Structure 1
C-alpha cells in the first residue's frame, strides 16, 4: 500500500509505503509519482491494483497513530439507543445498583450494544481497546459474553482486550471470585479489581484474590481506584508491596486514581518514582475535577499513561460519544494545557501512550516532545484526519477521517469498511 500526501504528526507532506502491516518507507510527497494506472477505486477511497499496489489518497491530511482506548465499558454502553434521563445516585455502590436495576430493560442486548459502539469507535479512529466486562452475582458472565461477541464481530478491524471486572466488589456477594475465574478461562485477558478499602472493606483479602487470579491465569491486573487521598495512597502501597514481592513489574495498571496527588509533594514524587521503577501504568479518563499525579511529570519519569472514554452514555453518565479525539480535547482541557507541545502530547498519550499499556513491548513515552508511531518499522495502525496542525485537529475534531489497522483501511468518512 502507498499512502500519498500525508503530514506525519503535522510535518512536511510525505508518501508512506506499507507492506505486511508495517511502515516500510517515508519519502517526500511527489505529486508526479505514478500510482493509479488502470486501477479502480472502492468506497474507502482506496485505489486498487495500480503499479504501487493499493493507494490511499491522503489529500494533505494529518497522519497520526490510531487511538488506543484503554478504559471503556462496552458492556454498559447505550450509544445508538434513545436518550434517557439520568437516574443514578452519587457513589460507586449507588451507581452500580442503578445500573443493575435497568440494564436488562435496554432495547438491544449487551452484544448488540457493544458491537454497535465498538464499530462507532473504530469509525472515529480507535483500533486498540481495553474494555471492562462486569462480573457479578446479578449478571454472571452475560455481560462478559456480550463484549466477547463484539470483539469477535470486529476482529479484523480492532484489537480488544477484555477485563473481568468485579464492579460490585469481590466480597460483598457470593461466588464472584469463581465467576472471575471462569471468565479468565473463557477469553478475558485482564484481572480487574476495585477500591479494596472503600468497597470491599478488606484490602488484604481483596488483593489476595486479585493477585491470586493473576498468578493462576498469568494475566495482568487493572485496579479501578476511586479512593480519596491518604486512603488511596494506602491501597496503592499495598499493591506496590505485592508487585515487588511477586515480581510483577510491568503487569499492573491503576485506573482513575483521581486523588493520589492530593496528599503532599513528597508523596507525589515518591509514587511517580515507584511507578516508573515498577512499570506501573496509569489509565485516565480526563475527569473534570481531580488531584491526580501530574501528567507531564509521569511522562518525564517514564510512567506509561493511557486515555479512555470510560462509560459511554450509560446508566452511570450521559457523557461519552465513542470519539477518542473528543476525549483527547478533554485531556488537554482538564490539564489546562494551551501550549501546542502539551496538546500534542495529549494526542501521543491517547494513541501510542495507551498502546504501550496494552503491549508492554512498545516503548514508553519519556518526554512531552515524543511523537512516536510513524517511523519505518512501526505498525501501520493509523488515523488520517483533516487539520492544519495536530493542535487544530484536537480543537476542531474534523470528520474527514480514514482509519487503518494492520496496514488495511477499516473505516473511512466515519463509516466502517469491509
Structure 2
C-alpha cells in the first residue's frame, strides 16, 4: 500500500499561517505530528506548521475535527491515534489542510497555535518495543570489509532483513545529552579487557519507522499490507560504542554498546506527506537472489523507495566557542542506501507471528550511500580510526569527543512538489558519570 497524491500536496497551496509558506521543513504540505508541552500545560498532540505548533487537543475539543478522533487526539501520546490506521490518518491530513489553508477557518483555529520557540518536545509515543535493522547495504559492506576484506557480507544478508531487539527505555527525543557510556574494552593488543569510558564513541544515521495498526500474535502481516501498518517516519541516531561492541558482540550481537541511548527527532512525518517523494527500490545487482515470496510485492518495488535526503553535521566545543558553523560530515539519500524497503522490514518482523503494536519503533540501520560523501558513521568515514577527518577548526576526529554535538537532518525534494523536512535530531556528548 502506498499513499496517493491529492489536493493536500498541491504546490500552489498556501496557509494563512504566514511562516509556513516557503518554510524549509514545515510547509502546509507536510503537517507532521508530535507531542509537546508549554510550561506546565500538556503534553498535547500537535502538528508542526511553519514556526508554530497547532494544538490538536484544543482543536479537537473545539469541535473542529471528526468526533470519533477526539479521544485519541486528546491524549499525551500518539499510540492511540496511530492505531486508527491509514484511512483516518489521510482524513485528518485533509481536514488539517483545510483548517490551515482556508481563511474562513482562521478565527476558530488561530487561538490554538503556539510558537515553536515556546514548546518543549517529548517522545511522540510510549515506545513498547524498539527493533534496529541493518538494511543499509553500503554500510554493511563497508563495515564488513574492515573485518572480512574478501567476504564483507555474510551469506544471509541478501536473503533476510537482519535486525536485533534494542532497548526501548533508553530512546530519547532530540536534544537529550549523550552521556559517554562505560563498559568492557579490549584493544587487539591487550591480553585481557578493562572497564572504563568508551574511547570509540560513534553515531549511526538512520530513519525511524513507527508502527500504526498492529497485528495479532501468530498472524503475520502480508507484504502487500505492510505499508498500511506504518504510521510515519522520523530521524534516528543509534549511538554506538565501537570498542565495547567489538568485544561483546559475539555470539549474541549488540548489547551495552548500543542500549545506553537512541535519539529520535520529535516530529513524525506521515506516509501521506511522503507520497510525492516515493521512488522505485534500487535494482538488485545481477546475480543477487530474488527476495523470497513473502518479501516480494511489485507495487512496493515500484514505489517503496524513500526519496529522503539525509545530512549529518558535527560541531565541536572549539567550533562553538569560535562561532563556527557545524561541519557537514555526509550527505546522501535513503532510497539509494536501503537494500530492503520499509514494507519488507515490517513484513519480515511479523513473519514469524511476532505481534507489532501501535507506537513500536523500528530503526532502518545505518544509511550510507556508495560514495564517500554519503557515509553514515565515523567508523566508515575514519576507516575504523585509521584515517582521521580534518575539521575547519584544525581539529581531527576519528570518533566523538566530549563536547561534540551531532546534528542529523532530512529533507525531501522532487520536481513539482514543495520541499518538506523532518526537522533535526541532535545530541551533545558529555563525560561519563
Same fold (TM over 0.5): no
More helix by share: 1
